[in-house]
Amino acid sequence: MNIFLTGGTGFIGSHFLKHAIVEGHSVRALRRRATSKTRIPIDQQPEWLDHQLDEVAVEEIQGFDVLVHLAAHTANMPYDNLANCLRWNLLAVLNLFEQARLAGIKRFIVAGSCFEYGRSGERYTAIPTDAFLDPTNSYAASKASASIALKQWADQHNLSLEILRIFHVYGEGEPSTRLWPSLRRAALAGEDFPMTKGEQIRDFMHVSNVAKAFLQRATAQKYLQCPKIFNMSSGNPISIKDFAEYWWAEFCASGKLLFGACDYRTNEVMRYVPSADMIYVGSKLPI
């Protein structure tokens, strides 16, 4: 299958490329600059297109079966201001998708985020996809705005659109400031690791499983004819404390986990667990 991909040098996008190339798919991947590298090594390079999201011309996106959108602007702290997040996570994406529509693409797979739900996470034991969107930061607000706008756009043009809202992903190539690589770095250095009490409940998914799920949806022979939003899930929600203790043992750490040494973040949402209306990607965690 011919796939046009955004975010190919990113965390999930690098794993997507690895699996797509192994399976023999043809991929043209968008990247901001020629010097950008994938977050993990891949055996074969895709056809790279060095552009910003809003610089792609119709002729550069013709002949593709599906557009997979994994790019995101400041998906990790510190988040950019709301105006810039809206520019790159909404307006530039709409521009790209319109170019793709004019080029004849009728199928779109989009990475959404659990952070779109924001405070609604604490209102549900399991968050349904039609939950009220109540984001707590600029990145999440821009992603929520994009979900609403893209769904309306796809409805208007009778296009197939799947927004797969990702919950918490970990694994090789993850940004170094996030929990799993921070745990690994401290464990391998023999250091103690200060953290919050770890009472937050999360749904952790390994990045390889997430990438495979996106590829499966992108290359499915039968696909939805109308826009739909899915939650992605491991089916195994756990506390951050349990997650940290599991990986601390896996890394054979000699230091200690210092629970309660750090305060919770401002506007910390204590529970992000998706509903059963989801794409199940499995979990590598035995707990």
Percentage of the residues of the chain whose pLDDT score is greater than 90 = 91
Nearest to 210, CA basis, from 165, 243, 249: 165
Is residue 286 scored above 70 in pLDDT?
Answer: no
Kindly report, residue by residue over 4-16, the tens digit of the pLDDT.
999 999 999 999 9
Provide the pLDDT for residue 281: 82
Is residue 1 scored above 90 in pLDDT?
Answer: yes
pLDDT tier at 210, thresholds 50, 70, 90: very high
pLDDT tier at 91, thresholds 50, 70, 90: very high
Tell the burial category of 180 from Cβ atoms under 10 Å away from its Cβ (0-12, 13-18, 19+). Answer: buried
Mean pLDDT, range 153-158, rounded to an integer: 97
Distance CA 132, CA 169 (A): 23
All structural domains of the chain, each given as residue ranges with its CATH number in brackets, are: 2-169+204-233 (3.40.50.720), 174-202+236-273 (3.90.25.10)
Kindly write down the DSSP assignment for every residue of 256-286, as one continuous string: -EEETSSPPPTT--SB--B-SSEEE---S--
Give me 195's structure tokens.
């953290």
Alpha-carbon 271 to chain mean position = 18
Is residue 277 scored above 60 in pLDDT?
Answer: yes
Instruction: Please name the residue that has the structure tokens 């590598």.
Output: 284
pLDDT tier at 235, thresholds 50, 70, 90: confident
pLDDT tier at 284, thresholds 50, 70, 90: low
| Contact yes or no for 66/124 (Cβ under 8 A) | no
Percentage of the residues of the chain whose pLDDT score is greater than 70 = 98
pLDDT tier at 224, thresholds 50, 70, 90: confident
Q: What is the CA radius of gyration of the chain?
A: 19
Distance CA 241, CA 224 (A): 38
Provide the pLDDT for residue 285: 61
User: In sequence order, what are the beta bridge partners of 64?
Assistant: none
Q: What is the mean pLDDT of the chain?
A: 95
Give me 39's structure tokens.
């977050």
DSSP E strands in 204-274: the ranges are 204-206, 228-233, 238-239, 257-259
Nearest to 271, CA basis, from 166, 200, 178: 200
Kindly report, residue by residue over 112-137, the tens digit of the pLDDT.
999 999 999 999 999 999 999 999 99
Neighbours of 75 (CB within 10 A): 21
pLDDT tier at 287, thresholds 50, 70, 90: very low
Mean pLDDT, range 73-89, rounded to an integer: 96
Kindly report, residue by residue over 56-71, the tens digit of the pLDDT.
999 999 999 999 999 9
Give me 264's structure tokens.
């919770």
Provide the pLDDT for residue 167: 95
Distance CA 6, CA 23 (A): 19
Kindly report, residue by residue over 22-56, the tens digit of the pLDDT.
999 999 999 998 889 999 999 999 999 999 999 99
Provide the pLDDT for residue 208: 95
Kindly report, residue by residue over 162-201, the tens digit of the pLDDT.
999 999 999 999 999 999 999 999 999 999 999 999 999 9
- Phi and psi at 4, nearest 5°, equal -100, 125
Neighbours of 142 (CB within 10 A): 29
**Using the 8-state DSSP alphabet, how is residue 76 labeled?**
S
Mean pLDDT, range 268-272, rounded to an integer: 96
Provide the pLDDT for residue 225: 82
| Contact yes or no for 162/231 (Cβ under 8 A) | no
